[in-house]
Amino acid sequence: MTGAGDAVARLVRDEGTRVLATLVRVTGSVDLAEDAVQDAVVRALETWPRDGVPGNPRGWLLVAARRRAVDVVRREAKRLGKEADAMPAIDPSPDPVSVRDDLLRLVFTCCHPALSLDAQVALALRTLGGLSTAEVARGLLVPEATMAKRLTRAKQKIATARIPYRVPSAEELPARLAGVASTVYLIFNEGYTGRATLAEEGVRLARLLVSLMPDEPTALGLLALVLLQDARRPARFLPDGSPALLSLQDRALWDGSLIKEGVELAGRGLRRTPEVPNAYVVQAAIAACHDLAPSYAETNWDAVISWYDVLLTVQDTPVVRLNRAAAVAERDGPAAGLALVDALPGLTEYAWWHASRAELLHRLGSASAFVALERAEETGLPAAHVAHLRHRLESRFSLPHGEKPGP
């Protein structure tokens, strides 16, 4: 596709999400709206590169999608021998507030707590992210048929449970926003280990959430966090695909504009939470400590550990403590970090706990690092990380590739 064609495709996808949000409100059906918008998107991709982008692309897509929805409703009514329900008219030039409200309704519908987290992530990618069912399946590592069933069940649950297409009331918002933020961050995390498409979708959805709720600390902190992490993505993997540790990354490759934006957002989030910390804002502050350090050796580990201590006051989990232990290991040495890691409960099936032990045991010169690496691999550590750590262990102990040290 040409550069112009790429630009058209991006415009169609971005506007398509907004059109879908409005059409869901008008039709009352996610399935019908999705099919109608997909038809309009296909027509746009066929005609716009040839005839030029219309002056009001959103209006063009709205009108085309509504016509398709009306045709489907009429055809189905005729098949059943019923009168077609009248469908409300659509304003082809809705004001920004209406578009924002429709998008916000769709975000909270996709991320309703009545749906499982797996279903929330899948539905958010499919509807808000604009990915096809096949793309969602590939991104979340499940067969396409399984994903199709999951999406169908999610939409049926919305219909049968009569999940309302609305923004939650003020008293519902904190709990519901937490689910939305968790879903978006999980999508980003799925991509951050190497699936670029999902990482980009996570950033896009986080930006959407801030545009819809610009004063909400959770939204600000979430976007700051993903931007500060995404800024490092160009340096996270070596040309052969193996991961580059933070200590070895070429910081000249980091995206300075994303770091600047993320730091500013984190600052806004901190100013809005002077008394009760927000978990996403604090995590963004930790990420900012890393991104602003001129080099790994110059990282302010005292500040990093202090921020983890703040995070523990609102999110005291074994995983947070594992991350804090890694920071302690950098400041106080691998033995101090390993003592904290080994004291953590409930992580024996968590791949990164075993990987952390392997790394720290490696630094201490202990061949037990090989056992820890095996457990990390068994519990699901990504293959690229396994290969990278195994290579470092073999180099440390001067072993031929694949050979393990003796007892």
Query: Are 61 and 12 within 8 A, CB to CB?
Result: yes
Question: So what's the pLDDT on residue 96?
Answer: 65
Residue 128 is given by DSSP the state I
Query: Are 313 and 269 within 8 A, CB to CB?
Result: no
Q: How far apart are CA 285 and CA 280, in angstroms?
A: 9
* Residue 243, strand partner residues: 237
CATH number for the domain formed by residue range(s) 96-184: 1.10.10
Confidence of residue 322 (pLDDT cuts 50, 70, 90): very high
Question: So what's the pLDDT on residue 202?
Answer: 86
Q: How far apart are CA 22 and CA 66, in angstroms?
A: 10
Question: So what's the pLDDT on residue 315?
Answer: 93
- Directed axis angle between helix 96-110 and helix 173-192, to 10°? 80
Any idea what the Cα angle at residue 126 is, between residues 120 and 127, rounded to 5°? 90
Q: How far apart are CA 124 and CA 136, in angstroms?
A: 10
Query: Are 276 and 227 within 8 A, CB to CB?
Result: no
For 349-365, what is each residue's pLDDT tens digit?
999 999 999 999 999 99
Question: So what's the pLDDT on residue 106?
Answer: 82
Tokens of 219: 């939204």
pLDDT exceeds cutoff 90 at 279:
yes
Question: So what's the pLDDT on residue 85?
Answer: 61
Question: So what's the pLDDT on residue 383?
Answer: 84
pLDDT exceeds cutoff 60 at 406:
no
Q: Where are the domains of the chain?
A: 1-94, 96-184, 336-407
Backbone angles phi, psi at 237, to 5 degrees: -130, 140
Query: Are 266 and 221 within 8 A, CB to CB?
Result: yes
SS (H, E, C) 144-182: HHHHHHHHHHHHHHHHHCCCCCCCCCCCCHHHHHHHHHH
Helix (H/G/I), strand (E/B), else coil: 243: strand
The mean per-residue pLDDT over the stretch 21-43 comes to: 85
pLDDT exceeds cutoff 80 at 244:
yes
Tokens of 67: 């016509």
Dihedral sign, CA of 107, 113, 115, 117?
Answer: positive
Question: So what's the pLDDT on residue 395?
Answer: 85
Task: Please tell me the pTM assigned to this model.
Answer: 0.77
Residue in the block written with tokens 């916000």: 104
Q: Which residue has the higher pLDDT, 344 or 89?
A: 344
Q: Which residue has the higher pLDDT, 240 or 155?
A: 155
Question: So what's the pLDDT on residue 158?
Answer: 87
For 207-243, what is each residue's pLDDT tens digit?
988 988 889 999 999 999 999 999 999 998 888 777 7
Residue in the block written with tokens 């996808």: 13
Query: Are 96 and 66 within 8 A, CB to CB?
Result: no
Q: How far apart are CA 309 and CA 401, in angstroms?
A: 41
pLDDT exceeds cutoff 60 at 147:
yes
Candidates 107, 97, 86; CA nearest to 20 is 107
